[in-house]
Every structure is written in C-alpha cells, then in structure tokens.
Amino acid sequence: MLILIISDIHANLTALDAVLSDAGEFDAVWCLGDLVGYGPDPNECVERIRQLPNLVCLIGNHDAAVIKRIDIASFNDEARQAVIWTQSVLSQTNLEYLQGLNAYTTLDSVTLAHGSPRQPIWEYLLDTRTATKNFEFFDTPFCFVGHSHLPVIFQKYDGQENADLFIPKQDSHLEMAPRAILNPGSVGQPRDRDPRAAYAIYNPDAQTWSYQRVPYDIPSVQVRMRANNLPQRHINRLSTGW
C-alpha cells in the first residue's frame, strides 16, 4: 500500500500534474489542504483532486477564506487579493466541494491536520518548541501537516522530552520514528528556496516516508497568473521557491 501525501497545491495545476505523473503507482491520496489561493487554476485543481483514488482531503486556511468560513481580514493584502479573485472564478460545484471538507481527521495510525493538531487551520509548525507541544494534541503515532510549505520532520523517541527537527533528503525512504509530525512540503508554492514541487509517499506497512521533488514548467504558470492580474510578488516567488 502506497499513499501519496500532498499539500498546499494553491491552484497550481502544472505543479500538481507534475507530482501526479512523477509519483508513479499509488493506492490512495491524502491531501492536507490549501487546494486554492495564490495560483491561476483553482477550478482545475479542485477537479483534478476530487478525481483522485481513495482520497482523504482536508481544508486549508486559504480554502476556508474562499468559502468564508474564516475572516479574510486575517490575510495580508496580496493573499486577500488572491482569495477574492478565487471567489470570483470558482464554480458552485467546486465551492460546495470545499465547503464539505474538514481541517482535521484521524485515520488508523495517522492524524491529518492542515496547520497543526492543536490549531488545525492556523498554527505553523516551524520550530521544535511548538512541535513538541503539539505532540500532546494527537494520539496516533504519526501526524501529517502542511501549511508552512516547508518539508520537515519532527520526531520523538520514547522518553525524549523535546522533539528533533530534520529536513529529509530527496528519495530517502525514511523509517519513521515511534512518533513523528511530518510535512511533505508544498506542491504549488514551495518556500524552501527550491522551486520544484514537493510531495511524499507514505508506506503504512513498512512505515516509511519517501520525500520527493519534481521540476515543472514554472513560466507557464506565471503567464496564467499574469493574465489574471494576480499579485506580482506571488508570480515572482515561484521562480526561486520562497
């Protein structure tokens, strides 16, 4: 059994398709939210994701803003601009799809949350202190999160007080620690200075996490963003992954 783990697609269909073809065979897909926001292809991305096999899909803060579940005032100007544009183009069917999503769920041995198990929509897990606290907020061995757009693993062995942080290497099939919080990175807007789309493959039988990157045609996405008058800063950042 292989499960494709994706997050923070942000309406970037070119990046999403690159991930789907690079990932090879998989049996299920767990998507950790932020299907839309920033990018030019919100309808296409929601439609592509909805068709994926054995899908579990969470809502992210950008999706929640688009469906007005959270206040748009909490976003910075440019992110807000992208939310308003997304609201203006998203089809009713896709809007209703986003309305049906939750920000948190527990499967067999994994908890899924967009931001963190403590605050599924908003909290960023960027440091060991915050991550260590969050180990108290889920009961399963593992928790998969997105939101920060940074591929990172926080892990804890028995008796260990503070979680360790490490950045996985591409193509590494990591054996997962007894307890871990894992972030696959972002498909559509990476922020670790590597512009390639990020994802992971989780093997629940072997308990391994395989972290991957794949290049995609960034200029073609930037052309569509420009055509829709999306913020220049969001266009620029795709080139360098910040």
Indicate the residue among 34 and 123 with the shorter CB distance to Zn ion. 34
What is the DSSP code string of 121-168?
TT----SHHHHHHHGGG--SSEEEE-SS---EEEEE-TT-SS-EEEPP
Indicate the residue among 8 and 17 with the shorter CB distance to Zn ion. 8
Strand partners for 26: none
Indicate the residue among 213 and 234 with the shorter CB distance to Zn ion. 234
Q: Which two tokens stand for residue 6?
A: 């994706």
The residue ranges that bind Zn ion (CB under 5 A) are 8, 34
Strand partners for 144: 112, 182
Q: Which residue is nearest to Zn ion (CB)?
A: 34
Rounded to a whole number of angstroms, the minimum distance from the CB of residue 59 to Zn ion is 11
CA 76 – CA 166 distance, rounded (Å) = 29
Rounded to a whole number of angstroms, the minimum distance from the CB of residue 87 to Zn ion is 17
CA 141 – CA 209 distance, rounded (Å) = 14
User: 32 with 56: CB under 8 angstroms?
Assistant: no
Rounded to a whole number of angstroms, the minimum distance from the CB of residue 77 to Zn ion is 17
Rounded to a whole number of angstroms, the minimum distance from the CB of residue 7 to Zn ion is 7
Indicate the residue among 8 and 41 with the shorter CB distance to Zn ion. 8
